[in-house]
Each structure stands twice: as structure tokens, then as C-alpha cells.
Structure 1
Amino acid sequence: MTIWTNPLSIDQANAMLANTICEVLAIEITDIGEDYVAGTMPVDKRTHQPFGILHGGASVVLAESLGSIAANLACESGFVCVGLDINANHIRSVRSGLVTGVAKAVHIGRSTQVWEIRIADDDDKTVCVSRLTMAVIAK
């Protein structure tokens, strides 16, 4: 059973990323399941930090982007969700390839939502785990 109250197609979700930081970092939505949103981001010169590994801030951009899309898909009509707090634990470094994030709900309430986003490398090893709290506000 789906948790989405405002469903979108993958194409519609990706269209929302145009002209945003997601476009600059080549973040792409790849799957919208019954209770999750997944997306990818390349690990390359756009997302590296000076030591040639994935920048933690880039991981946070991916996490917040996936969680924000998911939160707004699950938001009641007449409301929108905006970021309130995010944290990230950087578990493993990555030098190249693609990372994949999956956002799943921890809590969907009337005034707040909490989402957990796991980011993994090409071998499905955890790179980052993030928790995003969203405020639910009237449009």
C-alpha cells in the first residue's frame, strides 16, 4: 500500500530538479516505490572534496533532495514540507562511480516528518546514513 498522497512519475520528479543544485550535481531520481524514493549521484570532480573522495556535503545534498521529494509526496493536500534539520554520518569514502540513496519514512505526522536516507556505493556498501526532519506547513 502506497504512502503517497501526491504521487509523481519519475519523469515528473526529475523535471522538478531542473535548474537546481541537483542538476549541477547530476542527481537523478531512479525509482519511486510504494514507500521510498531512490536516486543516484555520480562521484566525480563535481562531487569530490580536495582529497579526491566524495564530499560529505554532496552526500547531504543527495539525502536532503531525496527526503524532500519523498516528504512532499506524502504531504496532505494544502501543505508543503520544508527542511527543518538534517544530520549525516559518513561511513565510507568513495572515489568514483555512482552512489545511490534511498529515502524511507520514519515518521509522517501532521506537523513534522522524519526520513532516513541510506546512501550506498556501487557494491551496495553504506557510504552515508542521514536523518532528515521536515516541517509540514500550509501552502
Structure 2
Amino acid sequence: MSESTRSLPSLEELLAVIPGGGLVERMGIEFVEAAPERLVATMPVEGNTQVAGLLHGGASCVLAETLGSIGALLHVWPGGQALGTDINATHHRSASSGLVTGTATAISLGRTLCSHEVVVTDEAGRRLCTARITNLVRPAPAG
């Protein structure tokens, strides 16, 4: 179904379907923009660091997987589900404070697979991480 013939949820409606208290909340991820083709969210470095006080690479992956999975979910909205099947990330530089921003851009939005590229940048706009996530999309289980 094309986006023009269906209604996507508002950002508030989308956030209502993400379980509270989950990893998104614990990581401090805040959504700025959400559509199947492009998603943007921020995340604080503080609280998401490794032992040397730098942004944990796993935190960048959490941000990337969150954005890509929600993009795939929006692609099959309503009545579908998205299940992550692959994520890879290259870490280019570190951050020790402030907010990072993840921007996910759809590579492919198909009937069974969706892939997004996610670029994580620091407050100066420097690329910290480039990730790619692929999701299997299928109808949500009945009942």
C-alpha cells in the first residue's frame, strides 16, 4: 500500500506503541522525525558510555537498530511487524559528552525485507558511526 493511500501514525501515536520502560527509554532516545523513508532521533552520551568515558559502540548500535526497526514498522503500518535480522556498524570517531543524532535513511522498503542506513553524528555534525540494519517484515500475529 502506498503511503499516500494510508495514514501513518503521528509521532505521539508511534511512541505510544513502544513499550514504556524499555531500552529506548533507558538510553534516553528522543524521536525528532519518523517516517518509513527517514527517521531522526537523539541520544545523550552521558549514561551510554564505556569504561573510558566514551560513547559505547553498542549504544550507537541500539540507536541505529531502534531507528531502522521503527522505519520498517512504519512501512508495514498498520498490521505488520518488523524483526531485525542483521545490523553492522563502523565506528569512525568517539564522543565524550553532549547529544548524538541518528538519521536513518531507507535503502530498500520491500514486501519481506527493509534496510536502512543510519548515520550517527555528534553536535558538531561529525560522523561517529555508520550502520546498516535489515529487518524482516511480515503480518503481525493474529489476536
Same fold at TM > 0.5: yes
Partner of residue 52, structure 2: 51
Q: For the residues of structure 1 that align with 2:8 and 2:80, how far apart are their CA atoms?
A: 14
Distance 1:76 1:126, change over 3 A: same
Partner residue in 1 for 2:90: 89
Q: CA RMSD in A?
A: 2.1
C-alpha spacing 1:58/1:6, structure 2 compared with 1 (3 Å): farther
Q: Are the structure 2 counterparts of residues 99 and 4 from structure 1 closer, same or farther at C-alpha, using a change threshold of 3 Å?
A: farther
- 1:46-84 CA distances to partner (integer Å, 9 max, x unpaired)? 200000100000000000001111111111654211100
For 1:23 and 1:54, the matched residues in 2 are separated by 17
Instruction: Please identify runs of 4+ aligned residues in structure 1 that moved more than 3 A.
Output: 1-6
Superposed counterparts of 1:27-106, under 5 Å: 27-32=29-34, 35-44=37-46, 46-75=47-76, 77-106=78-107
8 Å contact from structure 1 (residues 68, 83) kept in 2: yes
* Percent of paired sites with the same residue: 38
Query: Residue type of the partner of 1:87?
Result: N
Calculate the TM-score normalised by the size of structure 1.
0.89
- In structure 2, the residue corresponding to 1:119 is in which secondary structure? strand
Q: TM-score, normalised by structure 2?
A: 0.87
- What is the CA–CA distance in structure 2 between the aligned matches of 1:52 and 1:7, rounded to whole Å? 39
Structure 2: segments with no counterpart, 5+ residues: none
How many pairs align?
138
- Measure the CA separation in 2 of the matches of 1:4 and 1:14: 22
